[in-house]
Amino acid sequence: MPTYEYKCLSCGLNFETFQKMSDSPLDSCIECKGSVRRVVTGGSGLIFKGSGFYITDYNKKDPGSSKSEKTPKPKPSKSDKSK
């Protein structure tokens, strides 16, 4: 179920609630019973890819620790061997 964020127009309280997408939006504050407005948020930005689904899988690693970042040694060409 998605999380929706609301802001009370009377007391200024910001609160979140879990609701089904088919549920109608809330119309009253949970504290003062004043009118509320649903706030549009940007979401979490979580990326699901690869073999794991942990946010720590996408932290930057130490530049020297990755094999893909090391440059391979150039192989000598045939012209270098004849000299």
Q: Is residue 82 part of a domain?
A: no
Give the number of domains in the chain. 1
Q: How much is the pTM?
A: 0.49
User: What mean pLDDT value characterizes the chain?
Assistant: 76
Q: Which CATH number belongs to the domain containing residue 6 in this structure? A: 2.20.28
Does residue 14 belong to any structural domain of this protein?
Answer: yes
72 pLDDT band (50/70/90 cuts)? low
Residue with tokens 């942990």: 54
Check residue 3 and give its pLDDT.
87
Note down the domain range covering 28: 1-42
Q: What percent of the chain has pLDDT above 70?
A: 49
Alpha-carbon 56 to chain mean position? 11
Looking at the predicted structure, is the pLDDT value of residue 51 above 80?
no
Give dist(CA 27, CA 46) in Å, integer.
30
pLDDT given for residue 29 in this prediction: 94
Say if 50 falls within a structural domain. Answer: no
pLDDT, tens digit, 9 for 90 and up, residues 7-37:
999 999 999 998 998 999 999 999 999 999 9
